[in-house]
Chains A and B, each alone.
Chain A
């Protein structure tokens, strides 16, 4: 169990690093005060309160009273404290499950994220399932008859899907299936599971096709390599059928690259797929994130960074565990 403890410690360290970086960047690049007191935040209130500047009319109509408000806000939000102390306070709140409230509408960040994250996760799951359903059988077929017609055409089309940008693919699918044939709804609906599925097919496919192309190429190459192993020759000498050999001997040791990239892309998809969410108007995490950054919505951005980085790490942790399932030679202790 030392292994799990070590991994959890690593996880915590990475989350702290990610959030601290985000915290610092937000503090220096934006001004948290601006969201609370508006443009008054840009006035040199220290000087005003000290009486060094008397005529503040040239500074956007801020007077001493406004500066008192600013000062009160600074006190309230502990903005006079040094950065590490503020970060520490934020971490203390997070540990208690409090991610603060959004500057935009004073809704708790946990509520906003809790509202959006199921849509992103659902989209991610659908996309990954599509990608695997397409890629795995295709790779097996292509590797089994390498350099034949199917292999060659699948390889060429996979290059096509890898190089086609997401927005182009999304727009094409949207035009065909929503505008032209009207098979799928143009608005995102999730009243029940069925409508949610219906709304997720196209965005899922948009994400899945390039992923499937990548998975296909990785798995095909690994399968072809494994097929040249001595133990495959041995399996043939045992009189096992090609199908048996492929599924029971070759597939499992060929999964390494696929699983690695699967972990990375799944982790990436948790953070939302901005372009696809935009095209198909899905209120997922990706769009929320961009809006929050643009609006300097401090608590929301930090909350999102926390959630996304922890999911990313958690997924890749599972992937690492999976390596030792695939191959018993991979020791869990290393």
Chain B
């Protein structure tokens, strides 16, 4: 197979509400090569989950989708229109944030894994059950035979998420979308689950989209990272390149500052991003992050910067990227006036400034 497994171009998703049309995803494009992984990072409301659900054909009927989505060269919307039975759940699967609620509480684990195999792969009940046991073993669940007969409430959160992963892998998907797969889990369990996903991906040569609000989760894990905000792509880069410069985009920089770092003293305070993510109703002018950005200029409020390649393979949609002469100039100008063009007091960023310069407070 040549070409990308997933190719999304200029995807727009909006929801009609009483207040008007909400633009959840506003012109997102990305490619994902077979066997590679991409991390989509952003706060709640950034459009990352909607992007995933659009790919999975899970949006409610009142959602309006525009743009092109291709899977292995095939148009996803065409597949949805033809109501193809063995595509979603087979070629492409998804796991969700909360394993406490994403398993059916009244069905045994075994049935929940086996049913995909029976529906899609034409397995008999007993064949499917045997395979379900194998899958449980692959996701690192001890005593699979016993687990098959248990109900979800008899398992811990970490084990349940492993079961969810086993379900997603049942039909040997080529793409796995993991939507905040570890957010609801204990910190100690998070790493195990992420490592498991990594290993399985490599073993099976599967592609993966890992969605998270936590840059720390994708750091050193995915091949590419796409940072989303207000339904738009803010920055997209190979993971290594992104972390080398701690983000070219002011939003990435801000997100980065919210993660605890292992090499800073433990009393170091984390830096919140001032303001709230936007609800994008109707057409917005300018950059959606401008109201919360300390690098913003008046231009940012009126004109959305295009996504341009700043360095090899490193795209950023910003008029004044961090670390560039424009960025430094814009920040100093705001520092001098005491507020950003959007009217945000620069004092809000004081903790940030210190953090950015010295790494501690």
Contact = CB atoms under 8 A, between A and B. Distances in A.
Q: Do the two shown chains form a genuine complex with each other?
A: yes
A231 B115 contact: no
Contact of A234 (B87, B106, B119, B164): B164
Given A239-B116, A239-B119, A241-B85, A252 B56 contact: no
Contact of B85 (A237, A239, A253): A239
A328 B151 contact: yes
A329 B104 contact: no
Contacts of A76: none
Interface size, A (range): 20 to 34
Contact of B151 (A229, A248, A329): A329
A235 interface: yes
Interface stretch (B70-78, B91-99, B336-344): B91-99
Contacts of A328: 105-106, 151, 153
Nearest to A232: B104
Contacts of A248: 107, 115
A244 B120 CA distance: 12
Given A253-B106, A326-B106, A328-B151, A240 B115 contact: yes
Given A239-B119, A239-B120, A231 B151 contact: no
B102 A231 contact: yes
A237 B106 contact: no
Interface residues of B, number: 29
Contacts of B261: none
Given A230-B98, A237-B88, A237-B94, A327 B106 contact: yes
A244 B104 CA distance: 13
Nearest to A240: B119
Contacts of B103: 231, 234
Contact of B102 (A234, A244, A253, A329): A234
B119 A233 contact: no
A236 interface: yes
Contacts of B167: 234, 238
A234 B115 CA distance: 13
A234 B90 CA distance: 13
B58 interface: yes
B89 interface: yes
B120 A235 contact: no
Interface majority SS on A: helix, strand, loop or mixed? Answer: helix
Contacts of A231: 101-105
Interface string A301-334: 0000000000000000000000000111100000
A86 interface: no
Given A230-B96, A252-B106, A237 B58 contact: yes
B86 interface: yes
A248 B107 CA distance: 9
B102 A239 contact: no
Contacts of A230: 96, 98, 101-102
A248 B114 CA distance: 13
Given A230-B102, A244-B119, A249-B107, A238 B89 contact: yes
Contacts of B101: 229-231
9 contacts: A230-B98, A234-B167, A236-B56, A238-B88, A239-B87, A239-B119, A239-B120, A253-B105, A328-B153
List 4 A-B pairs, minimum CB-CB distance, nearest first.
A239-B89, A230-B101, A238-B89, A239-B88
Given A233-B96, A327-B106, 13 more contacts: A231-B102, A233-B58, A234-B94, A234-B95, A234-B167, A237-B93, A238-B89, A238-B168, A239-B87, A240-B116, A253-B105, A328-B106, A328-B151
